[in-house]
A and B are shown apart, each in its own frame.
Chain A
């Protein structure tokens, strides 16, 4: 097998589904668990520590016959803000979405402040992204600023 074919084997083509690319290697397994991949019956390929010019080492997830909603994308953005979602139909990339954290996060993450009403009342959380670059979020309720790296998903 020549070098080119070996490469093709590593990232074989998908007929229909989603390729999540440019996941920082250290975030790969967080994304895997976030999307609840272990409970999926779909054909899934996971690439770990692949070479990447942009990231050094990256992760990649290919999921056959599965497409993601905007809500899922918002969730992914919390764990890995700059990943790329490629939607594949009939072996062609029909859409390339760069995951961007939305301006507001509705019921995706938990507030870090134990004295926040959202941790004490059956209600949805709501955060404003105050600084996307730094990953700073502000809880709509307790108004505490917190960093995206310190918060837990709901």
Chain B
């Protein structure tokens, strides 16, 4: 009902994505201002997520807003059995915008329907995390100069990784070619392959991760292969080091290649890659700040 909420990356048009990225660019030039002076941001983390919460709260603080909220459902009245609707109604009477993370899928969509103030989804279970996708897009555009016609290699857990699914959805506007690199157990679900075919997005699939596979990559998007995703631990032991990016693998790669990772990283990117100018994951996380500044202003209808 509240059209200005941001719930799912799939709700954003190509034009909207580009305009948000442009606003984020302005915030990168000038991240500090007082344009949210007098505003209150409700930061409702029903599930802990330190990285995302700090990024949103920093964005609010750097623009002069004040932040209220909680960082764990245990410290909110949700632990007393209050419904999500009641919590949202209560906070929306104090705050001008709600940023929320919840373990249940669809929680942000529902909150946006009941809340009189805009809601930004900071992650709803395994479903959506649109600010992550926006910062991925921002990082791709910033490092490549464009979002159009890129060779994007998605590596690791392509089955459960919501960041790769959302990225795939968002990139449909920009004529990409995808390369899916994953172990059998964690390969890209059929629904996304159908999505690619329906949207005329070319893609290749392989279980091999080596120099040859990444030779023509513009972007390598690494994800964590998590032990708990495997029904067979033998299988995990077999593949856990196969999807590890090392510095030597990057020798023959394209100049413009950049490596992204939603973080936290465990061992899928060797630490010697960090010094390589093609490593971009820490800047990528920093870009999240500018993107989140842009998102908060957008849902509040504040023009930059």
Residues of A at the B interface (CB closer than 8 Å) are: 113, 115-118, 120-123, 139-145
A144 contacts across to B, CB distance below 8 A: 105
Chain A residues contacting B126 (CB-CB under 8 Å) are: 115
Query: B105: which of A115, A122, A123, A145 is its contact (CB, 8 Å)?
Result: A115
Closest A-B pairs by Cβ, 10 of them? A141-B106, A142-B105, A117-B106, A142-B106, A117-B107, A117-B104, A117-B110, A141-B109, A115-B125, A115-B105
Q: Which residues on the B side are within 8 Å of A145 (C-beta)?
A: 191
A66 to B195, CA, bound (A): 44
Contacts of A118 in B (CB 8 A): 106, 110
CA distance A117 to B112 in the complex (A): 13
The closest CB in chain A to the CB of B125 belongs to A115
Given known contacts A113-B105, A117-B105, A121-B110, is B85 in contact with A143 (CB within 8 Å)? no
Would you give 30 A-B contacts (Cβ < 8 Å), ordered by A?
A115-B103, A115-B104, A115-B105, A115-B125, A117-B84, A117-B102, A117-B105, A117-B106, A117-B107, A117-B109, A117-B110, A120-B104, A121-B85, A121-B104, A122-B83, A139-B106, A140-B106, A140-B109, A141-B105, A141-B109, A141-B110, A142-B105, A142-B106, A142-B124, A142-B125, A142-B127, A143-B105, A143-B106, A143-B128, A145-B191
Given contacts A117-B106, A117-B109, A143-B105, 11 further A-B contacts (CB under 8 A): A113-B105, A116-B106, A117-B104, A117-B107, A117-B110, A123-B110, A141-B106, A142-B105, A143-B127, A144-B105, A145-B191
Name which residue of chain B comes closest to A143, CB basis: B127
B8 interfacial by beta-carbon distance below 8 Å: yes
- 8 A Cβ contacts from B73-122 to A: 83-85, 102-107, 109-110
A-B pair count, CB < 8 Å, reads: 50
Q: With a CB–CB cut-off of 8 A, which chain B residues contact A115?
A: 103-105, 125-126
Residues in B whose Cβ lies below 8 Å from that of A116? 104-106
State how many angstroms separate the Cβ of B168 from the closest Cβ of chain A.
14
List residues of B whose CB falls within 8 A of some A CB.
Answer: 8, 10, 83-85, 102-107, 109-110, 124-128, 191
CB closest chain-A residue, reference B8: A143
Q: Tell me which of B83, B106, B127, B128 has the highest count of chain A C-beta atoms within 10 A of its own C-beta.
A: B106
CA gap between A115 and B83 in the complex, in Å: 15
Q: Which residue of chain B has the shortest Cβ distance to A136 in the bound complex? A: B191
Whether A121 pairs with B84 at a CB distance below 8 angstroms is: yes
How close is B42's CB to chain A, nearest CB, in angstroms? 18
Q: Which residues of B contact A140 (CB under 8 A)?
A: 106, 109
Within the complex, what minimum Cβ distance (angstroms) separates B76 from chain A?
15
Residues of chain B within 8 A (CB-CB) of A117 are: 84, 102, 104-107, 109-110, 124
B238 → A minimal CB distance (Å): 29
Give complex CA distance A116, B105 in Å.
Answer: 5
> A120 to B103, alpha carbons, bound, how many Å?
11
Complex Cα–Cα for A142 and B126 (A): 9
| Chain A residues whose CB sits within 8 angstroms of the CB of B85 once the complex forms | 121, 123
CB-based nearest B residue for A119: B104
Least Cβ–Cβ distance between A91 and chain B, in angstroms: 48
Inter-chain CA distance A115–B160, complex, in Å, is: 14
* Distance to closest chain B CB from A145 (angstroms): 6
Contacts of B127 in A (CB 8 A): 142-143
Per the bound structure, the CA–CA distance linking A66 and B10 in Å amounts to 44
Complex Cα spacing A139 to B124, Å: 14
Whole-angstrom distance between the Cβ of A110 and the nearest chain B Cβ:
13
Q: How far is the CA of A117 from the CA of B85 in the complex (A)?
A: 11
Cα distance A142–B109 when bound, in Å?
A: 8
Residues from chain A with Cβ under 8 Å of B103 in the complex: 115
CA distance A140 to B107 in the complex (A): 11
Of A118, A121, A139, chain B has the most CB atoms within 10 Å of the CB of: A121
Q: In the bound complex, what is the Cα–Cα distance between A136 and B229 (angstroms)?
A: 26
The minimal Cβ–Cβ distance linking B292 to chain A, given in whole angstroms, is: 22
**Residue among B103, B124, B191 facing the most chain A CB atoms (10 A cut-off):** B124
Which residues from B are CB-within-8-Å of A121? 83-85, 104, 110
Rounded to whole angstroms, the CA-CA distance of A113 and B125 in the bound complex is 11
Min CB–CB distance B228 → chain A (angstroms): 15
